[in-house]
Structure 1
C-alpha cells in the first residue's frame, strides 16, 4: 500500500446531499448562534405538543370511554420522555445497546473521521489496537480526515504498509460503502470499528448491513466539548439513527457499485 495514495484528493465526483448539508448547517448554527438555545427550546415545545396530541388521539381511540384525565396522566409523561430524551439523556440513549469490546481479534481496524476535534483520540485508539496485534491492518475513512489520520498513525509508530483507506466519504453511509468496496474483496470480514460513542450504534448497524462482523470500539468525546455541544451531537445522532432506519440501511443489502480512486 502506497501511503501517498491516501493523501491524494479523492477523484470521485461526490457532492454532499441536501439533507446532510442541511443537518450540518443547522448543527453549526445551533452551536454558534446566541439565540440557538431559545430556538431549540421552541422547536422542542412544538414537537412535544404535536407528539402529545398524537398520543392523546391514540389513547382516546384505544380508551373506549376511559376518562380524559386518566389518559392525560399516562400520555403526558410518555410524550415528555419521547420528546426530550435526546437532550435530557443524551449519549447514554445511543450507547446502551452497544456490545462491549473484550479484546477480540479482527481482520482490520476501521477508523471513521469526524473532524479535527475528534481525530486525535480515535487515531491513538486505532494505533494501540494495531500495535497490540488486535488486527493486522488499519483502514481510515472520511473525506479530508483520511489523509490526516493516516499521517498521524505513522507518527505514532504504525507501519505505513499496514495503513490503507479512502478519502471520498462525506457520510456514514459512504464510510461504509467505500470501506466495503475496498476491504470485502480482499477477504476482510471482521472489523474493529472506531468512532465516538454517539455515532457507533448507527455505524455498527450500517457496516453490518453490508456484510461485516463489527466489533464497536468507542473513542471518548473530547474533554473540551461542553454539555451543550454533547447534547446537540446526541440530538443529531438520534435524528440520523431514525432516518437511516427509515431508509432501510440496517438490513442486509448489496454494496453500491460506486468507484473511487483513493487507496486502491
Structure 2
C-alpha cells in the first residue's frame, strides 16, 4: 500500500458533506421557497408576467433536468452492464465506514470467482481498514494493493493510474455506490482505463432523504467534473492540490519498486 506522511493533508475542495436534515439546509430551502411564494402572492401582475417569461421556463427546465439527473444518478441508470469477463484489477473506492463492508463483500466474491488476481483500494482513511477486512476474508497480501492518499474522486483516478498504469492494467472493475458510479466512470476513463462499473448498494437503513441528497450532491459534482473535462481536458492530469504532484511521483516510484 502506498502511504506517505505527506498524504495527511486537508481537503482542497468543499466536499458538500451536509446532511439532508441539516437545519441550515432546511432553513435556506424554506426561506427561498417562502420568499418566492410571498413575492408572487404580493404582486399578482408580476406573477402573471413571471409565469410567461423565459426566466420561468429556464428555471423550470433546470429543475426538471436536475430531477431527472438525480433519479438517474441515484439508481446508476444507463451505465454499461458488467459482461462478467476477466479484468486486470478490481478497484474499490473508499466512501467511509458505513459503506465499507458491502464493498469488501463484493470485491471478495469477485476475486473468489476469478474475475481478477488483484484488488486495489483507493482513498485516504479508507484503504487500511478495507485491506484489513479483505485479509480477514482470506484474501492474500499478494492479491492486495492500494493507496492511502487520494482525497477526491479525481485523485482516486490519478493515484490509481500512477500505481496501476492504464497501459499495464487497461481494464478495471470499479466498485462504488450507485450515485458515485457515473462520476467515477468519467474520471477513470479520463485516465485511459476501460471501466466496468460495479454498484455496491447503499445501507438499507438510509432514508430516502439521505440517498436523494447524496444523488443530488453527485449530480452537482458530475456536471462540474464533466464540464471541466470537456472544456479543459488537461485538468484530468493536473492535480488541484499543489502537494499532489510530488505525491503522485512518489506513488509512481512505489509502483516501480513493486514491479521490480
TM-score, normalised by the number of residues in structure 2: 0.76
Equivalent residue number for residue 51 of structure 1: none
User: 2:155: which partner in 1?
Assistant: 174
1:15 counterpart = 2:4? no
What is the CA-CA distance between 1:99 and the residue it aligns to? 1.0
CA distance in 2, matches of 1:45, 1:241: 29
Which of 25, 44, 61 is 1:36 aligned to?
A: 25
Native 8 Å contact 1:91 1:197 kept in 2: no
1:186-209 Cα distance to aligned partner (Å, 9 max, x none): 811110000001100110111000
- SS state at 2:142 partner: helix
Q: Tell me what 1:211 maps to.
A: 192
Q: Identify the match of residue 243 of structure 1 among 224, 240, 251.
A: 224
Q: Distance in 2 between matches of 1:176 and 1:45?
A: 42
- 8 Å CA contact retained: 2:50, 2:56: no
Q: Partners in 2 of 1:169 and 1:233 — Cα distance?
A: 20
Q: Aligned partners of 1:242 and 1:46: how far apart in 2?
A: 28
Greater mean deviation of Cα atoms: 164-173 or 87-96: 87-96
Partner of 1:189: 170
Change (3 A) 1:208 1:39: same
Residue aligned with 2:104, SS = helix
RMSD: 3.3
Shift of 1:36: 3.2
What 5-or-longer segments of structure 2 have no aligned partner? 37-48, 239-244, 256-260
Structure-2 separation of matches of 1:141 and 1:242: 23
d(CA) in 1 for partners of 2:72 and 2:123?
25
Q: Could you tell me how far apart the structure 2 residues matched to 1:46 and 1:238 are?
A: 26
Deviations 1:47-99 (A, max 9, x none): 9xxxxxxxxxxxxxxxxxxxx89956x97577335326546873424522211
Matches within 5 A, 1:24-103: 24=17, 27-28=18-19, 30-31=20-21, 33-34=22-23, 36-43=25-32, 79-80=59-60, 82-83=62-63, 86=66, 90-93=70-73, 95-103=76-84
Unmatched 5+ stretches in structure 1: 48-67
Greater relative CO, 1 or 2 (CA 8 Å, sep 6+): 1
Looking at structure 2, the residues matched to 141 and 149 of structure 1 have their Cα atoms a distance apart, in angstroms, of 9
CA distance 1:229–1:250, shift in 2 (3 Å): farther
